[in-house]
Amino acid sequence: MYGTRFLSDVKANAHAAQGFDDVVLYKKDKQAVYIKHVFMSKLPAKVKPDMSAQHIEFIKQLDTLNLRCYVLVHVKNKLSGQYDLAFFLDDYEAIQGVSKELAMQRVMPLASATHLIDTILL
């Protein structure tokens, strides 16, 4: 699933990161942020997205270039059956994982995540 399909409301240019179909570069003016999109039907006790060695290396390279990369975890809503809830992890949290409790505190409607990208990250 491509992130642009879910975040088409972000008012920025969006491009898939070269070599990754689940990482999207959002650019507006001189600001840029990479977002890796992960989908979870339900949250385990420790929320740690599946990330390949290439994803981890990519994130580390972005860090050395002072570029930002976040993981947006799309969560399936039990009521709607859609992935319309989400929360952000920074690069370190995505690699190490966070507790389900912390993830649940951060969960928001997907529209709110889109708004955060537009207003805070870009």
Per-residue pLDDT band for 93 (boundaries 50, 70, 90) equals very high
The model carries a pTM of: 0.88
Q: In what order do the strands lie in the sheet with 13-16?
A: 13-16, 23-28, 31-40, 69-75, 85-90, 108-109
pLDDT digit string (tens) for 52-77? 999 999 988 998 888 889 999 999 99
Domain 3-121: state its class.
alpha beta
Per-residue pLDDT band for 1 (boundaries 50, 70, 90) equals very low
